[in-house]
Structure 1
């Protein structure tokens, strides 16, 4: 299986060194699978978030956004099936006491095998998972002699289910028998479903229409790993598209195509993506697939597209005893109005943190620029200009002769339009390298010629080419490039 662990580790180190992502609470030795976004990482994440939101709401005729609370009435999660079904098979090694998620354990072993053999093992695992054959999963692990990474033994417990929801007490006094128990939401979708009628009626929305949301979700992963790919606190960008029953197949294919268009708009080649159809469908779905990206750790899910049928709205209607129906006045093929029905839903759900990791993986490049006589190299992040944390580096050649003052005037002109960075320390070459390392697509150097003819040197990150342009043209040039 394809795996470039050296590149993956280099990206992790680069993220910490250049202010993208830090281990959370690091001065206290960190907290497993929890990360903080630094000054550049938070800008990158915000840019991705804003780009998705604009594409999904502002540029659509029939999709609106909401921001639902993280805490929800606990019956929500009973109705959604999470209390009974939101579990993963786990297994413990009796010698090391280390707990593994079964699919992660087998996938990790498969990555050490030749590609065909690894694919065959994964296919066997997926069939056993689909059948919920826990004894078969344990037998598969033992027959392939899959060892614990800590103890090196194959002394395993039986496979059993593990619920992934975090629970907490709600209110100032703990109740008895879980009276005050609430959950940290494991997904953002339910906040959309319980607000379906509020949005539909207040916005006078007509089927088909969508509701989008970006927000935090929490999952008590058995084994969280692989940097920000799988965390216990993460952010989702989801859209639920409400449709007439019976039209789900065509809308499912429509949103598969539309979401891939969005991914390709990030400047990532189509060859780096693939669709993966689910073998085991979630309890709410009649069709589901993932959009996978070829990370340095192999092809992994970035986004899921699911045909959720009417499961969610129907269950919320049952548990809340509130009608979750839509009256459709349109006339059907039989000449009669469609009338009242519970809509079906197509869901698109993309991990914001995984998207950040995808962009970092695609952008990161180590370049050898030197010769045998004069070694030179750089690390560059080739982000799309519209998503780069900093759009323009403004660099006066020296700290004197009025050059910083000209640079500050340019900074004042541009900073209200896009993110700029000003620096006057070190040689211009070192400053260029630092800008490359955080992915800044343009750098402007103000030198003594600027005072004479009003021109500056613009340097392009990807090609490292430089040219003279008028100082007054800088803002418009960069603004046009980041649209």
Structure 2
């Protein structure tokens, strides 16, 4: 925290970006990268906050994820607009509600920036910054050049010239992202039968457990079939097996854990190799073939499918 004593001063990085700038030429040359390209990094960052507050929203030690996107001077406006649109589309793809996001453009810019905006999220305590997008010009690389005496320029073979790249930065706090998702997902729902359920409506792609396999009863061979389904699905997804208590209670437990799908094995399964699959958010239940389970779950939880939806 803040201190009036300086006898034991410690200096910790306030951002992860500077390591990227120092290593710009190493990455560019060894990777044979052509501009435009980005370097991303996640790691610990530290701020000397006077008052840490609002749970994990503002802390002195936190996880930061940043990307420095190196571009040709003069193209920064179009790339700034591109990353604004792209990053907002990424956030909204998580399904937390488009109305919970907004841009906040900076009126006062840092001395090195020519454009800056924040993506704000509606936390329980109001709209607050979740991610920053900044056009940093060539300030960082030129400062490292000035104090190190080493050139950090890029040779552009297309126009046969050397220049110091401009930089577009996107910076997001992992802890804040977790708080945004978790605070939005945890709800108490009123049901039609005048009861309530606690449900953690995590985006399916982020849910720790993707499906729970539940035998209706602990006899008649149903647990054995359920275990076979677990053994088949566990190579592709993190799945859970639960046979304790009535099936309704098991549904509630998985709802509270954020599990997107519950798969129930019953006596009809013995006859036709079908099971009941229940969706966490809608509580809708469908009868499907065991052989189709993998594709049904993958369509909802797979990172590849999620990213392709943003195209």
TM-score normalized by the length of structure 1: 0.59
Matching residue of 1:410? 229
* Cα shift readout 1:163-202 (whole Å, capped 9, x = no counterpart): 9xxx9xxxxxxxxx98xx8633221111111110000000
The alpha-carbon deviation at position 389 of structure 1 amounts to: 1.7
Structure 1: state its 5+ residue gaps. Answer: 1-98, 100-161, 168-176, 332-336
Matching residue of 1:450? 269
In 2: Cα distance, 1:221 partner to 1:410 partner: 50
Equivalent runs, 1:322-341 vs 2, <5 Å: 322-331=150-159, 337=160, 339-341=161-163
SS at match of 1:355: helix
Matching residue of 1:353? 175
Q: Count the aligned residue pairs.
A: 300
Matching residue of 2:308? none
* Cα shift readout 1:319-361 (whole Å, capped 9, x = no counterpart): 2211111112323xxxxx4x12211101011112211211123
In 2: Cα distance, 1:325 partner to 1:378 partner: 59
Q: 1:292 aligns with which of 120, 143, 148?
A: 120
Equivalent runs, 1:29-44 vs 2, <5 Å: none
The alpha-carbon deviation at position 268 of structure 1 amounts to: 3.2
Matching residue of 2:60? 232
In 1: Cα distance, 2:111 partner to 2:218 partner: 64
1:216 and 2:44 are equivalent in the alignment: yes
Distance change (3 Å), C-alpha of 1:368 and 1:308: same
1:368 and 2:190 are equivalent in the alignment: yes
Distance change (3 Å), C-alpha of 1:416 and 1:185: farther
Structural RMSD (CA) = 2.1
More strand by share: 2
TM-score normalized by the length of structure 2: 0.90
Equivalent runs, 1:157-196 vs 2, <5 Å: 183-196=11-24
Equivalent runs, 1:274-285 vs 2, <5 Å: 274-285=102-113
* Cα shift readout 1:361-414 (whole Å, capped 9, x = no counterpart): 33222111154xxx4110112222222221101111222332222111111111
More helix by share: 1
In 1: Cα distance, 2:48 partner to 2:247 partner: 47
The alpha-carbon deviation at position 451 of structure 1 amounts to: 1.9
In 2: Cα distance, 1:304 partner to 1:449 partner: 53
* Cα shift readout 1:46-74 (whole Å, capped 9, x = no counterpart): xxxxxxxxxxxxxxxxxxxxxxxxxxxxx
SS at match of 1:227: coil
Matching residue of 1:144? none
SS at match of 1:228: coil
The alpha-carbon deviation at position 452 of structure 1 amounts to: 2.4
Q: 2:200 aligns with which of 378, 381, 391?
A: 381
1:478 and 2:297 are equivalent in the alignment: yes
